[in-house]
Chain A
Amino acid sequence: MTPLLLTTLGVIFAYAVYLATASARQTSAPRDFLDGGLTLPGWGYIFAGMGVVIASLDLESHLLLIAHYGLQYSHVALGLVLAAVAAALVHGRLWTIARMTGIATPGRLLGDYYGSTAIVLYVLLVLMLLALPFSAVLLSETGALVETVTAGAAPAGLVIWGSAFFLALYTIIGGWRGLIYVLAGQSLIVLALLLATTGAAGIAAHGLSFASYGIAVPAGIASDRLPGVIQFTAGLGKSVPQAGLWTTTQIASFALALTGITLSPGFLLLGVSRRTRTGLAFSQVWMMAGVAAGLLLLLGPVLGAELSRSPSLTLEAFLGLIGRLANVDQLFAAGLVVMLVVSQQIAVAFFVVSGASLVTSDLVKRYVLPDLTPAGERLSARIAIALIFIATAVLADVLPLPALLLSSVALSLSAQLLPALLGVCWLPWINRNGVVTGLIAGLLFVVFTEAAGLVAFEAIAIDLPWGRWPLTIHSAAWGLVPNVAFCVIVSLWSRQREAVISRDTPRRLHEGLERWSPVRLGGGATRAAKWSLTLLWVFLALGPGAILGNSLFSRATYGLPGAGGQMPSLLVWQIASWFTGVLLVWWLAYQSRMGVVTGTPLSVSIAPPASPLTTDRRPRWISRLLGRLTLRSGLVEDGARENR
C-alpha cells in the first residue's frame, strides 16, 4: 500500500502547488498574500471553514476516542453546533467592522477598539499556540500514522519534515489566497473520503460492526450512555471517573472549547477576508452545524466501532481497519489514511499561515518595522511561514511531549476571546478594563486546569491537589466562567470612569453595526423566546438535560420488551439534538439575520493605542512612586544641605 499512499499524497501536493502557483501568478498584489486582499470567494469560507472545523477536532484522535469511550465521546460532535452559533454571533459583524474601519486583522481590531496592547499580545499568544504546538501535535500524528501504516518504510521523522517542506512550499508560493483555494479542495476530499471509507468499512465487515456489535469499549466504560451529569472527581491524573469521562458537564464544557476553533484569530481572518457578503450563514448553518457535526455524529461511531475491534486502541487499531479495507480494495485502505493525513494537514497549514500573516501585520509591521513596504510585508510573511514551519517540525519531531502539553491550552485560550469579541460586536458597555481582567483570569484558570500548568508546577515540586479537568469540567469552562464574571463586573464597575475618558469609538462603531448589520430578533417576547430556546437547546443537547438521552428512546423505558440490536437511545437523542441544533443555527443566522450583512458600510476611524515600543507609557503608579522617591531624595539632599 505504501506506493499507492505516497502517490495519492503526491497528487494532492501537486494539486496544492499548482493552485498556489496559479494564485500567485494571477494576484501579484502583496496584500493578497497576507489576507487575500479581502476579496476571497464566499465558497472559500464555506468549504475551507468546514474542513478547518473538522480538522481542528483532530479526526484521528476523535475516531480513537470514540473507539475508547463509545457514544459518550461521540456526543462532543454536537459541540460543533455551538461553534457554529459562536461563528454566527461574531463573523458577520466582524466582516462589517473590517469594512467600516479598514482593519482586517482580529488582533489589531481588538487592540484598537479597546485601546490595549495587552489584548493584541493575548491574541498573538493564542496564534502562536495554534501555529506551533497545536500544529506540531497534528504533524507528529501524521508522522506516526504514516510510519505505522507503511510498516516503517516511511519513517516518522522523514514524513514530518517532508510534510512541513511541501506545506511550506505551496503556502510560501500562494499565501493566504492560495491556501484557502487549496484548503477548500482538500476539505471536499476529506468529506468524500469520510463517506467512502465508512461505506467501505461497512462492506468490509459484511454489515457494520456498529450495528452488529456496537462499540467494543474497554471494561468499566459505558459505551452507549453518558456517565452522569457531573462527577465530583479531582480531575485526570488524580482520580478516574466512573464509567467514563464524558459526563454532560464535560461535554458542555468541551463544546465551549470547540468555540475556540471558530473564534480563533485565523478563523476570524478567514471570515473577514471574504469578498462577498453572502455565504456566511450558509456555511454556519449547513456546513458547520449541518455537514461537519452531522457526519462526525453519524459516521464517527461507525468507524469508531471498526477501530474498537482491535485489541489495542492506539495507532495499531488503524492497522486492523486498514487490513479489512484492503481486503475490499487497496484504494479504500489508502483512502482512509489519505483522509486522516489531509485533515491533519488542513489544520497545520491553516494555523501556520494565519499565524504568519497575523504576526506580520500585528507585530512586525505595527511595532517592529512600521515603515515596511507592502512588498516587504509579503517577504516578511514568507519568512515567517518558513520559520514557523521549521519550528513546528522541530517540535513535532524532537519535542512532541512539550508540544502536546502546550497544545492542550490552545483551543481553551482561544475560546477566552469570546467576551472581548462580544464587546466589539454586540455589547458596547464592555470595556478595556473588563476584557483585560477577564482574559488574565481566564488564562490563569485554563492553564491551571490543563496538563501544561499541572506539569509546570510538578516541575518545581509542587503537587497541586487537583488534576486535569477537575469535576469533569473542561478547562475552557474553568476559564470562561471567571473570565465572563470579571469582564462583566469590572466593566460595570469602571463604566462611569471609562465613559468620561472616551466611549466615542464604540458608540460610532455600534451605530454603524446597527445600520449595516442589523439583526431581527423581534419584539420583547420573540427576543426572549429566541435566547431561551437557544439556552434550552444547550441544556438538553449538551448540558445536564442530555442525560435524558441515556434511556428515553429505549424500549425498556416504556415497559416494552427489549429488542436485540436496536439503535441506542443515546444515538437517537444525539441525532434529534443535531437536527434541532441545525434548525436553531438556521433561525439565528438566517431568520435573525446574524449571518447576513445587508450593505457595504461606510468608514469609521478608530485611533490605535500608542505603541509601547515607540512611546514612553509609564503606568501612573510607577510615575507617582518615582515622583515620591525623587521628591524624597530631593528633601534629603535639602535637609543635608541645611544641616551643613
Chain B
Amino acid sequence: MTELEPDAALDRHALVMGVWLALGLIATLLLHYGLGTGGLPAVAAGFAAVLTAFFAHVIVNAVYATTFTRRELALGLVIYLTGLLAVSLAALSSAAFRDHGFVPMAAGLAGSGAVIVIYMIIHFGVRGVFDAFNVIGDFRVDEDDEPSGGGRQ
C-alpha cells in the first residue's frame, strides 16, 4: 500500500464521499421505510446498501492502492456506535420499535459489523485491525490524514 500524493488523495476522498452519499441516501430511505411499513425485507435491503457502499469503498482503495484512512475508520466507528446506541435507546423507550424494529435493526447492525470486521481481519490480520481502530492513542492534531498502517507486518 502506498501513501497517496495530495491530488490523488483528494480524488479518492471525493470518490469515496460520492459513493457513501449516494448509497447512504438509499440506505436511509430503505431503513426508514423498513422501520415504518416495509418490514424486514426493506431493513435488510437498507443494510445491503450500507455493505455495498463499504465494498465500493474497498474497491476505491484497491484502485488507489491504499487503505482506509484513520479518519475514515474513526468516523465509521463513531457512526456504528451511534447506531448501536440509537437502537438501544429506541428499544428502551419505544414499545412499537421493540416489537417490530429492534430485531431486524439489531441483526442488521450485528451482521454489518461482522462482515466489516471479518473483511478487515482477512485483509489486515488481527493486530492490524486493532492498530487501525486504536485511533485514540495516535490521533494527534498535527498528524496528516495518512492511510492507516495495517497490512500483514
Question: Could you tell me which A residues sit within 8 Å of B by CB distance?
Answer: 8, 12, 15, 19, 22-23, 26-27, 39, 41, 43-44, 47, 181, 184-186, 188-189, 191-193, 195-196, 200, 328-329, 331-332, 335
B10 with A188: CB separation less than 8 A: no
A332 with B33: CB separation less than 8 A: yes
Beyond A189-B21, A328-B33, A329-B32, list 15 extra A-B contacts (CB 8 Å).
A22-B10, A23-B10, A27-B7, A43-B15, A181-B18, A184-B18, A185-B21, A191-B22, A200-B33, A328-B37, A329-B33, A329-B36, A331-B29, A331-B32, A332-B33
Q: List 26 A-B contacts (CB under 8 A).
A: A8-B25, A12-B21, A19-B14, A22-B10, A22-B13, A26-B6, A26-B7, A26-B10, A41-B11, A43-B11, A185-B14, A185-B17, A188-B19, A192-B23, A192-B26, A193-B25, A200-B33, A328-B33, A329-B29, A329-B33, A329-B36, A329-B38, A331-B33, A332-B29, A332-B33, A335-B29
A328 to B34, CA, bound (A): 10
Chain B residues whose CB sits within 8 angstroms of the CB of A27 once the complex forms = 7, 10
Interface centre among B6, B13, B22, B36 (most CB of A within 10 A): B22
Which of B7, B17, B33, B38 is in CB contact (< 8 Å) with A15?
Answer: B17
B111 to chain A, nearest CB (A): 21
B18 with A185: CB separation less than 8 A: yes
Chain B residues whose CB sits within 8 angstroms of the CB of A331 once the complex forms = 28-29, 32-33
A185 to B28, CA, bound (A): 17
B55 to chain A, nearest CB (A): 15
B37 with A23: CB separation less than 8 A: no
A329 to B45, CA, bound (A): 15
B151 to chain A, nearest CB (A): 24
A188 with B21: CB separation less than 8 A: yes
Chain A residues whose CB sits within 8 angstroms of the CB of B19 once the complex forms = 188
Complex A-B, nearest 6 residue pairs according to Cβ-Cβ distance, in ascending order:
A185-B18, A188-B22, A181-B14, A41-B11, A329-B33, A192-B22
B25 with A189: CB separation less than 8 A: yes
Chain A residues whose CB sits within 8 angstroms of the CB of B11 once the complex forms = 41, 43-44
Chain A residues whose CB sits within 8 angstroms of the CB of B6 once the complex forms = 26
A5 to chain B, nearest CB (A): 13
B139 to chain A, nearest CB (A): 20
Closest to B36 in A: A329
B71 to chain A, nearest CB (A): 13
B22 with A185: CB separation less than 8 A: yes
A328 to B17, CA, bound (A): 28
Chain B residues whose CB sits within 8 angstroms of the CB of A193 once the complex forms = 25-26
**A interface majority secondary structure:** helix
A331 to B37, CA, bound (A): 13
Chain A residues whose CB sits within 8 angstroms of the CB of B13 once the complex forms = 22
A315 to B17, CA, bound (A): 32
Chain A residues whose CB sits within 8 angstroms of the CB of B21 once the complex forms = 12, 15, 185, 188-189
A15 to B13, CA, bound (A): 12
Chain B residues whose CB sits within 8 angstroms of the CB of A47 once the complex forms = 18
**Contact count A vs B, C-beta below 8 Å:** 71
A41 to B116, CA, bound (A): 28
A329 to B46, CA, bound (A): 14
B125 to chain A, nearest CB (A): 30
Contact A192 to B25, CB < 8 A, known contacts A26-B6, A329-B37: yes
A335 to B7, CA, bound (A): 33
A184 with B7: CB separation less than 8 A: no
B106 to chain A, nearest CB (A): 21
A610 to B63, CA, bound (A): 45
A173 to chain B, nearest CB (A): 14
Closest to A41 in B: B11
A630 to B145, CA, bound (A): 76
- Per-position 1/0 for B48-83, Cβ under 8 A of A: 000000000000000000000000000000000000
A19 to B33, CA, bound (A): 29
A404 to chain B, nearest CB (A): 31
Closest to B26 in A: A192
B75 to chain A, nearest CB (A): 14
A63 to chain B, nearest CB (A): 19
B22 to chain A, nearest CB (A): 4
Closest to A190 in B: B22
A17 to chain B, nearest CB (A): 12
A186 to B30, CA, bound (A): 19
B15 with A41: CB separation less than 8 A: yes
Interface centre among A191, A192, A196 (most CB of B within 10 A): A192
A195 to B37, CA, bound (A): 19
A54 to chain B, nearest CB (A): 14
Chain A residues whose CB sits within 8 angstroms of the CB of B25 once the complex forms = 8, 189, 192-193, 335
Closest to A177 in B: B10
A184 with B14: CB separation less than 8 A: yes
Chain A residues whose CB sits within 8 angstroms of the CB of B29 once the complex forms = 196, 329, 331-332, 335
Chain A residues whose CB sits within 8 angstroms of the CB of B18 once the complex forms = 47, 181, 184-186, 188
Which of B10, B15, B23, B33 is in CB contact (< 8 Å) with A184?
Answer: B15
Closest to A330 in B: B32
Closest to A181 in B: B14
A291 to chain B, nearest CB (A): 13
A23 to B13, CA, bound (A): 10
A185 to B13, CA, bound (A): 11
A335 to B15, CA, bound (A): 22
Chain B residues whose CB sits within 8 angstroms of the CB of A332 once the complex forms = 29, 33
A322 to chain B, nearest CB (A): 14
A8 to B26, CA, bound (A): 12
B56 to chain A, nearest CB (A): 10
A191 to B7, CA, bound (A): 27
Chain B residues whose CB sits within 8 angstroms of the CB of A8 once the complex forms = 25
B152 to chain A, nearest CB (A): 29
- Per-position 1/0 for B110-133, Cβ under 8 A of A: 000000000000000000000000
Chain B residues whose CB sits within 8 angstroms of the CB of A43 once the complex forms = 11, 15
A413 to B28, CA, bound (A): 42
Contact A196 to B14, CB < 8 A, known contacts A26-B7, A189-B21, A332-B33: no
Chain B residues whose CB sits within 8 angstroms of the CB of A39 once the complex forms = 7
B40 to chain A, nearest CB (A): 15
B82 to chain A, nearest CB (A): 17
Chain B residues whose CB sits within 8 angstroms of the CB of A23 once the complex forms = 10, 14
Closest to A23 in B: B10
A184 to B17, CA, bound (A): 10
A196 to B6, CA, bound (A): 35
Chain A residues whose CB sits within 8 angstroms of the CB of B36 once the complex forms = 329
Chain B residues whose CB sits within 8 angstroms of the CB of A44 once the complex forms = 11
Chain B residues whose CB sits within 8 angstroms of the CB of A22 once the complex forms = 10, 13-14
Closest to A184 in B: B18
Chain B residues whose CB sits within 8 angstroms of the CB of A191 once the complex forms = 22
A27 to B8, CA, bound (A): 11
A77 to chain B, nearest CB (A): 21
A139 to B55, CA, bound (A): 36
B98 to chain A, nearest CB (A): 21
A22 to B6, CA, bound (A): 11
- Per-position 1/0 for B88-99, Cβ under 8 A of A: 000000000000
Chain B residues whose CB sits within 8 angstroms of the CB of A26 once the complex forms = 6-7, 10
